[in-house]
Amino acid sequence: MNLGSRIKELRTEKRMTQAELGRVIGVTKVSISGYENNTRQPDNSILLKLAGYFNVSTDYLLGKSNNKLSLSNGSAPVNFSVAKQSIPVYGMIHAGEPTFADQYIIGETPITDKIIDKYGRDNLFALQVDGDSMSKVIAPGFIAVFAKDCEVENGDICAVLVDGENATLKRFKETSKAVILEPESFNPIYKPLIFPKNIDQDFRILGKYVFATSLLK
């Protein structure tokens, strides 16, 4: 099954019109029609929004997998009716204040028992993505869930405080001479942040990326 067929199938299961789905995702009815007819391809941010809205993986949407619940792409298809627990979502994590300040909580997102059993509920936090520096992986506005106290390895995505600014998302890479925090964006303005090991490193890793979701209440 191809992308267009998947979108149409999921939309009709929800008894939605193309116009209704377009309003939810932020595109026109014509765009939804083009996706379903395979005459137009959604960009990565729209694909992630579709996957998040329908609670399926992007692999499933693209027809690469028949398993809706695949977590291979880092998205977690879960909803509030299935998940028994939730964790707070922060609108920002601000340097210079208590790391997880209650005044920045904007809601909650559901967490499955499987994720809680693996990482521990108190070891998880969620951050609403602001900006597009990681838009190839996580769409702006999505909720990214992280695990604290996890060893961050080369290639992992992490939430990090840099130079006293608010928390941001970057891919962590380490060489013998430096730590590199790399963006993965469709926007070319973002450049890697490089921290040579022979000087003080003004960054702090808050947590390792687990999955992203669009669900917030």
Examine the residue annotation and report whether 133 is marked as an active-site residue of this protein. Answer: yes
CA–CA distance, 88 with 110 (Å, rounded to integer): 9
Q: Which is catalytic among the residues 45, 57, 75, 133?
A: 133
d(CA 10, CA 77): 13
Q: What are the CB-based long-range contacts (under 8 Å, 24+) for 60-64?
A: 60/6, 61/3, 61/6, 61/7, 62/3, 62/6, 63/1, 63/2, 63/3, 63/5, 63/6
> Would residue 57 show up in a list of annotated catalytic residues for this protein?
no
Q: Which residues are catalytic?
A: 133, 170
